[in-house]
A and B are shown apart, each in its own frame.
Chain A
């Protein structure tokens, strides 16, 4: 080729243009492709118009993005089951507003980017009629913002971290009884109910640095200190802490009556094992959510060692709330397993949305929002109602392991057992 002189821009450009057809073909193909893509996509309405009243003969489509893979795959898959059980139960009874319910569930891979893209797509592209929330605060923060921007009611089965509700979102509703700082209230009430002499005198508060565990323990510590229980140990450990010997030996040295641990799961097991190694058994042992993983927990610490362990929980299989028995039966039938709390929470979220939609008589998002702010909904978790921020106003259940089983011991109206094991027996 002659265009070898590298002297400046013009030569470059010309030498480039001198091979017209080959380059031209490439460019044309690219241009054509993009124009075609543009043309294909060039349709649609403004996002603000998307809440138009749908065709009433079609099913109601509920859009959900769940972490079916990745870090939160465990709760995400349970939530999926909870939602599906709800769909089948509702459709068996003729659906909502006379229309069948259809779920459109996508996987966000526990990834914030994806959850945002998913909900954006569900709302603006797929034009779903209703939304339900996803799992874990991490994802619900981002997802609820998308819903809020688009004026869609967002009922979330998880995401009780307190600053979730500092944003004053109008379309956000948390479908559990209480946010993290209030989950231990029911346990504090139980201690208050004890005669002064029987109350623990000293307490230790190890907690994982987890947005759900830590606020529970911090708030409990504050309330118990007000009650005169002396704090002898308080420590926040990181989520990836694997070695609990140090905590256990530091803690045991103080010989507290009460050990209240903000435990997600493996850390709860780890501490129990380490305490057992040191042969230190506190009179009262409370752990936030670790003991709620029924089979896993008893396998890990040994069934005998579960005796007397307290925890708070949003739902229990035996609870006498309306529809709970039906839910448990349907779940067992469909999946041949015991339902997990996460599935029940998802089911309750769907119940909240269903009730509001039926009461309002349409899928008008603003009306649903207003109704939920003004009313109480009965769910399998019990009655739920909300502050203006979407924060719930209820109370958790206090559960205790008794003779290898879990019993609800407070509040009294939903309790499944009237006995409370106190003090906790020594390790076996």
Chain B
């Protein structure tokens, strides 16, 4: 029984972190209809940066997101202006290929600069756990979860309470309508891309503590995140949260009761089953996809 509780608790903690990582991806997709394949590479980039900061200065990796988040915001803004804005208006497949290339470039640069080795940040609390009843919750996992939730709350606040956020949501729901009321599509897009990228600032910092990583890890991460987004419905933020929770749980439960070997596969199986019965995902709006 404690076993089950432990597994569920771990699953939810992981799910929370997944949710944060997927939120940026789904936000970018929602506003721009761009699947940012480089999102996984951004995460690894931040993780590497965080690791380096931690290694050099001893700053807490999760707190380091205070530095990495604005950095990634700027990075996202520049990346949008320099790269993605150039292919605005061409087909969606071009943006997939462009961001795929971008991911490879980041991987390649990290290969050269940081080397092809596994890294992992290990702050002092790394090996400690909170004990609640018979259940032990690793501190790193808990801190990561809390940080993720805090950022998601901020994101939610920005999207619902500020003009900028409302503009972004308007652009998601109805681009030309938004344009009519004075929401500039280009600047909203740049902003959304920057915010979406900024979430990797926190996500990557948490990743650096929770998981060992190396430059090519980004394939794993992007397929995991894309899985969550497809499951939740592309472009839907609540969908990303629920999808992340479901997949976090599925992964941990399979690892506990089934075989660890198959736990990654559960991800893909869940996705295929959902697509089979609900092609639009759990929360996806079917409206536009099927419109002639």
Contacts and interface: CB of A to CB of B under 8 A. Distances in A.
B260 A277 contact: no
A139 to B, nearest CB: 15
Contact of A236 (B111, B120, B220, B261): B261
B141 to A, nearest CB: 8
A122 B228 CA distance: 47
Contacts of A266: 118, 120, 212
A250 B255 CA distance: 10
Contacts of A240: 220, 264
Contact of A238 (B10, B115, B261): B261
A273 B141 CA distance: 13
A245 B138 contact: yes
A253 B135 CA distance: 12
A209 interface: yes
Contacts of B220: 240
B156 interface: no
A233 interface: no
Query: How many of chain A's residues touch chain B, expressed as a range?
Result: 20 to 34
Interface string A320-362: 0000000000000000000000000000000000000000000
B117 interface: yes
B243 to A, nearest CB: 19
B136 A277 contact: yes
Given A71-B216, A236-B261, A266-B212, A276 B127 contact: yes
A371 interface: no
Given A235-B260, A238-B261, A250-B256, A243 B120 contact: no
A300 B111 CA distance: 21
A235 B220 CA distance: 22
Contacts, number: 70
Contacts of B138: 245, 274, 277
B116 interface: yes
A262 interface: no
A245 to B, nearest CB: 6
B10 A246 contact: yes
A311 to B, nearest CB: 18
A364 B136 CA distance: 65
A347 to B, nearest CB: 22
A269 interface: yes
A265 B118 contact: yes
Nearest to B261: A238
A247 interface: yes
A296 B115 CA distance: 14
A372 B290 CA distance: 70
A247 B127 contact: no
Contact of B116 (A73, A236, A241, A245): A73
Contacts of A269: 120, 212
B129 A300 contact: no
Interface string A278-304: 100000000000000000100010000
B126 interface: yes
A82 interface: no
Contacts of A300: 120, 122
A141 interface: no
Contacts of B260: 235-238, 241, 246-247
10 contacts: A69-B111, A73-B116, A74-B116, A209-B261, A246-B252, A247-B260, A270-B120, A274-B138, A277-B136, A300-B122
Interface of A: 69-71, 73-74, 209, 235-238, 240-243, 245-247, 249-250, 253, 265-266, 269-270, 273-274, 276-278, 296, 300
Given A240-B264, A242-B210, A249-B6, 20 more contacts: A70-B116, A71-B116, A73-B111, A74-B115, A235-B260, A238-B263, A241-B260, A243-B10, A245-B138, A246-B10, A249-B136, A250-B256, A265-B118, A266-B118, A270-B120, A273-B122, A273-B126, A274-B138, A277-B127, A300-B120
